[in-house]
Amino acid sequence: MSDEKNLPDAELARLMQDISPAAARQLDAGLHAFASTWLFNGNFMRCRACGLSQMASQGARPFNHLEDCTSASTAAPYPWRELANQLQSLATVVR
């Protein structure tokens, strides 16, 4: 039997329909909040407020914002970890 990584899109879509409305809202809200602060572009994570970016390979380091960045005090200090957590919650919900 194949695991979720090998499911066709239609099967994955069917599984996503089985998510409870509360779990779907929580997942959507978390990803929306993340995307309001960060722009993910290939192997770069860019702060929408100050425009600085960080490569995925530097994700174990805290993100450095410009000194006057309006998101510096509220944004996740490790955006790559935050994205991984959001995606992990998606994998958990789909199972």
- Domain-wise residue ranges, the chain: 40-60+72-95
Would you say residue 25 has pLDDT above 70? Answer: yes
Q: How much is the pLDDT for 12? A: 60
H/E stretch holding 6: none
Q: What is the value of pTM for the model shown?
A: 0.74
Residue environment code for 48-83, b if the CB has 16+ CB neighbours within 10 A, otherwise e: ebbeebbeeeebeeebebeeebebbeebbebbbebb
Percent of the chain with pLDDT over 90: 58
Q: Give per-residue pLDDT as tens, 45-76.
A: 999 999 999 999 999 999 999 999 999 999 99
Mean pLDDT on 89-95: 65
